[in-house]
Amino acid sequence: MGLTTRALGVCAVAGTVVALLLAPPAVGGAALLARASTGIGATSASLAQARPDAASVLLDDTGAPIAYLYRRFRLPVPAAGIARTMKAAIVAIEDRRFFVHDGVDWHGLARALVSNAVRGTPLEGQGASTITMQYVKNLRLYALADTPAEREAATADTLARKLTEVRLARRVEGRLDKQQILTRYLDLVYFGNGAYGVQAAARTYFGVDADALTVPQAALLAGLVRSPGGYDPATHPDQARARRDEVIQAMLEVGSLASSQAAAARAAPLGVRPDPHVPPEGCTGARPGTGFFCRAALDRLAGLGLDHDALATGGYTVDTTLDPRVTTRARRATLDAAPGTGGVADVTAVVAPGTERRPVLALAANRTYGNDRNDGQSALPLVTAPLRGAGSIYKIFTVAAALERGLVTPDTVLDVPARYTSTAFGRRYSVENLGSYDDRLTVRHALAVSPNTPFVALEDRIGSIAPIVDVARRLGLRTTLAARGPDGRSLADEVVAGHRASFTLGPDPTSPLDLANVAATIVSGGVWCPPSLLTSVTDRTGTAVGIPRQACARAVSPDVAAALRSALGDDHTVGTSAGAADAAGWHRPMISKTGTTQRSASAAFLGATDRYAASVMTFSDRGAPQPVCLDPVRTCETGDLTGGSLPARTWYTMMTPLPARPGPAVGP
């Protein structure tokens, strides 16, 4: 049957368009192309310079990924990072004349236009789009389109869009060479299952990098580009195999493969991972046990101007200080101490002492970082923020202030009355000991067994709470003391203005990371350093992003640091954590101190060796503070939690198996 009059008319129009396309230098053709691309929001220059969004990755100190941040999971790679097999496969199946045309396959486009005009066949899927044109289309979709209307325009099956791609493809070819276009195309297109770009696809489907793709692997990926869902090897393995073999045949036909190679590739199994998927996004999808560290690292990056949106699109590589060995031990110790599904959090922070830098090795908890409370998750900054009190650990600061004023030494004998009333700060504050103690104790022994009265009396001898707060800040309690209350004042200002003698008993919310850093400062000879989570940050081009670093500073004199170290040396042998140390078989020199708040709503343990400084805090983290009971660990009416029980056990369980870190010892 012949063409109808209407079809002949359509063909005539199509023929005119084809003629214009086949003679692109002509004035008429140029005008048509210009009109078709008016208002597209892109120029050839912007296309040549544009970069699609890319995932950022946080790495531990061994280079292993902790977490990915992304809007689309794309991992950019240079030309050398893509196997020749992959380049050959995509050219064979998508654009055999890629290396000889000027960005447009004019005859293929003409055929598609005629078919569209006569039969209404969609322009897509007829061989009309070259790799360069597909690159233009995908770049407009994934990098330049900001609104739904722009995204629709970038994918609409219309003559206007096709003419726009023709114009831009030719101009892109004038700015980029073929290898650049091919690399950018493979770095851009969608391969299904959330994977954008060939590197993400190689890892998602095969668990390898793009430069290691074999012939059958490359052929499978190349086949996915046309229909990622239809050829998904996880859900449609038969269709995926048939499409892969089609690509292998195309490679054979164009001379990319010898017959023997093609036969071997067809005989190979699909070889995809059982459940191909991209890694979860963000800190809630971080590697097990690293979510709280991830959250703290992102907070630091935000302070550098790299918020989540910037990281999710910018392709940054963030090297961190996280030690996977220490983190694994820390996570296991907290889970062994208390189940993560209850109302009690057990958290720990570990830092490495030093006088030049203070890397944070682990921030761990018995909870998974996340938003599902019913599954025992928490999105609170449990390890870095001041949430609950640390109890008698604050007695360290009272002793430090007294040491600085020459009022005591570690061997000074203190009176230990059963009850003491402070009057030095303008109001009465009475305190009692919880338990029986000798009438007189040395400073060293008093810190180990921890009566209350001698330390409140020592505050009176100092005469002001201000120097005690000041030395606490200098030693490392900086986030804690800077925390703002409901009236906008910092905790430090509130304590000093209120002449709060209770400060030495540690009732105020305290950051576990701050506590670990206090211990690190003491064993580092009195030198404070800011806790560091970031080692380096580089952008997608490998250019370093500057990380402002606060300098270390002397917190207390070497003599005071040595005296503090001596004064804190008996807790694990004759003090409140001796039972936990003995049960763990701990016999190494260390400093340590326990603390418990009223009603056992929280408790803490601080300890350090020359290589590791760590704190553990245990507290109710569901709503208002509640007493915590042991055996089993739970919230209750009358608590029996102490710093020498569960927190100390967590610390020793975590630290006992850890060998000394490499490097020189620090501190006296």
Q: What is the pLDDT of residues 354-363, one digit of tens each?
A: 999 999 999 9
For residue 360, how far is the Cα from the chain centroid?
14
Whether 154 has a pLDDT exceeding 70, the answer reads: no
Residue among 139, 87, 133, 137 nearest 106 (CA) = 133
What are the distances in angstroms from CA 556 to CA 54, 523, 553?
A: 46, 12, 9
What is the pLDDT at residue 354?
97
Confidence of residue 169 (pLDDT cuts 50, 70, 90): confident
The SS3 call for residue 365 is strand
pLDDT at 454 (0 to 100)? 98
Amino acid at 88: A
Dist CA 548 CA 552 (whole Å): 13
Please give the Cα distance from 592 to 393 (Å, whole number).
9
Burial of 629 (0-12, 13-18, 19+ CB in 10 A): middle
Instruction: Give 452-472 as a DSSP string.
Output: SHHHHHHHHHH--SHHHHHHH
| Residue 417: predicted pLDDT | 97
pLDDT at 668 over 50: no
Q: Give mean pLDDT, residues 108-134.
A: 63
465 vs 397: CA distance, rounded Å: 10
pLDDT at 341: 78
Question: Is 192 a residue whose pLDDT tops 90?
Answer: yes
Provide mean pLDDT across the span 281-289: 96
Tell which residue, 388, 398, 444, has the closest CA to residue 601: 388
- State the number of CA atoms in the 13 A half-sphere of 171 facing the CB: 19
pLDDT for res 25:
38
> Under 8 Å CB-to-CB from 623, ≥6 apart: which residues?
none
pLDDT at 43: 58
Could you tell me if 431 and 420 are in contact, meaning their C-beta atoms sit under 8 angstroms apart?
Answer: yes
Could you tell me if 346 and 616 are in contact, meaning their C-beta atoms sit under 8 angstroms apart? yes
- Quick one: pLDDT band at residue 171, thresholds 50, 70, 90? confident
Nearest alpha-carbon partner for 590 in 562, 570, 563, 560: 570
The per-residue pLDDT for 117 is 52
Exposed, middle or buried by CB within 10 Å (0-12, 13-18, 19+), for 541?
Answer: exposed
Q: Do residues 346 and 383 make contact, with C-beta atoms less than 8 angstroms apart?
A: no
CA–CA gap between residue 615 and residue 607 (Å, rounded): 6
Which is nearest to 208 in space by CA: 149, 112, 272? 272
Domain boundaries, the chain: 5-36+72-267
pLDDT confidence tier of residue 3, bands split at 50, 70 and 90 = very low
| Residue carrying the six token digits 């805090």 | 617
Q: Three-class SS of residue 598?
A: helix
Report yes or no: 308 and 298 within 8 Å, Cβ to Cβ: yes
Question: How far, in Å, CA of 480 to CA of 498, rounded?
Answer: 17
The pLDDT of residue 146:
65
Find where tokens 């998927």 sit: 277
Token pair 């350093």 in the structure block, residue: 529
The residue behind tokens 């692109």 is: 24
Reported as a single tens digit per residue, the pLDDT across 626-659 is 999 999 999 999 999 999 999 999 999 999 998 7
d(C-alpha 28, C-alpha 36), whole Å: 12
Rounded to an integer, the average pLDDT of 470-477 is 98
Tokens of 530: 């800011």
Task: Using the predicted structure, report yes or no on whether residue 518 has a pLDDT greater than 80.
Answer: yes
Give the position of tokens 């105020």: 508
CA atoms within 13 A on the CB side of 63: 0
- Assess contact for 212 and 202: CB atoms under 8 A: yes
Is residue 630 a contact partner of residue 640, using CB atoms and an 8 Å limit?
yes
Q: Give me the pLDDT at residue 41, please.
A: 45
Span 560-607, pLDDT tens digits: 999 999 999 999 999 999 999 999 999 999 999 999 999 999 999 999
Answer yes or no: is pLDDT of 24 > 60: no
What is the C-alpha separation between 241 and 269, in angstroms, rounded?
Answer: 9
Does residue 199 sit in helix, strand or coil? helix
CATH 3.40.640.10 fits 5-36+72-267, yes or no: no
Give 262: exposed, middle or buried? Use CB within 10 Å, 0-12, 13-18, 19+. buried
Q: Are 627 and 601 in contact (CB under 8 A)?
A: yes
Does position 513 have pLDDT exceeding 70, yes or no? Answer: yes
C-beta separation of 618 from 650 below 8 A: yes
Question: What's residue 393's pLDDT?
Answer: 98
Cβ-count burial 87-116 (b if 16+ within 10 Å, e if not): bbbbbbbbbbebeebebbbbebbbebbbbb
* Summary mean pLDDT of the chain: 89
Q: Please report which confidence band the pLDDT of residue 10 belongs to, taking 50, 70 and 90 as the band edges.
A: very low
Looking at residue 4, the DSSP 8-state letter turns out to be P
Rg of the chain's alpha carbons, rounded to an integer?
Answer: 34
Crossing angle of helices 466-475/453-462, nearest 10°? 110
Cβ–Cβ < 8 Å for 53, 70: yes
- Summarize the confidence of residues 260-288 as an average pLDDT: 96
Contact 652, 578 (CB under 8 A): no
Q: Taking the CA of residue 53 as centre, how many other CA atoms within 13 Å lie in the half-sphere pointing to its CB? A: 19
What average pLDDT does this structure show over 122-140?
Answer: 75
Q: Are 330 and 654 in contact (CB under 8 A)?
A: yes
Structure tokens at 496: 């000093």
Q: Can you tell me which residue has the tokens 């030690």?
A: 323
- Cis ω before 279 (30° cut-off from 0): no
User: What would the pLDDT profile of 78-95 be if each residue is shown by its tens digit?
Assistant: 999 999 999 999 999 999
Beta strands 344-351 and 613-620 are antiparallel
Please, which residues bridge with residue 420 across strands?
431
Cβ pair 153, 42 in contact under 8 A: no
Rounded Cα distance between 408 and 401, Å, is: 10
Check residue 259 and give its pLDDT.
Answer: 97
pLDDT tens digits for range 519-576: 999 999 999 999 999 999 999 989 999 999 999 999 999 999 999 999 999 999 999 9
